[in-house]
Chains A and B, each alone.
Chain A
Amino acid sequence: NAGVTQTPKFRILKIGQSMTLQCTQDMNHNYMYWYRQDPGMGLKLIYYSVGAGITDKGEVPNGYNVSRSTTEDFPLRLELAAPSQTSVYFCASSSRGLDTYNEQFFGPGTRLTVL
């Protein structure tokens, strides 16, 4: 069981470039999340999804887009990369949402640098 996988592990972008961070989970979880982690800080929620075809903004959605066409995949898109988007990005999934908390399982992260 692979759990939550993320690709790539590392990426360097130039300002203005675009890219997609991939996230896949094989646990049949309905709920998926994207977080960013800046140095010395906790995680900030970017977007989340409660099921295929349904997404919603988190705390820091500006500059990002998501889609959820399948239960397994939840890609995060950066359209015009900016230095402020330099961070480590984590994808997570859970079998239920946070109205009654159920454990979130995290991927290993993607370290993104924008120069």
Chain B
Amino acid sequence: GQQLNQSPQSMFIQEGEDVSMNCTSSSIFNTWLWYKQDPGEGPVLLIALYKAGELTSNGRLTAQFGITRKDSFLNISASIPSDVGIYFCAAVGLDSNYQLIWGAGTKLIIKP
């Protein structure tokens, strides 16, 4: 079946550093999504991407829909303590039958 490979699994960074994570697949998707999950909460949508090559920003977050339609990345600039959490990529396939495919998540930890 369709799978998303998300990396890295976890990141330990200093406050103020930039962060980069990505999601790849062998399958083609027509929508890429990035969610953030805080501890004890459900995921919240950060950015949605609908066209290959699209680059979209949301504050300090920037995400891109890969030109091959098989990957996406998320950048966070100048990280702050409230950025900690788990970031998930998700994608909608061409024949998704209403199913979102989810990556395993990237856990972001900010070193004091």
Contact = CB atoms under 8 A, between A and B. Distances in A.
**Looking at chain B, what size class is its interface with the partner chain?**
20 to 34
What are the 3 tightest A-B residue pairs by CB atom distance, in nearest-first order?
A106-B42, A42-B102, A98-B98
Interface of A: 4, 31, 40-45, 48, 50, 56, 58-59, 90, 92, 97-99, 101, 103-104, 106-109
Contacts of A41: 104-105
Contact of A104 (B6, B96, B100): B100
Interface of B: 1, 4, 6, 9, 31, 33, 40-45, 48, 50, 88, 90, 92, 96, 98-105
Given A98-B31, A98-B100, A109-B40, 20 more contacts: A4-B42, A40-B104, A40-B105, A42-B90, A42-B103, A43-B43, A44-B102, A45-B99, A48-B98, A59-B99, A90-B42, A97-B98, A98-B98, A101-B31, A101-B33, A101-B48, A101-B92, A103-B45, A104-B45, A106-B42
Chain B CB within 10 Å — which of A4, A41, A42, A90 has the most? A42
Contacts of B101: 42
Interface SS of A by simple majority: loop
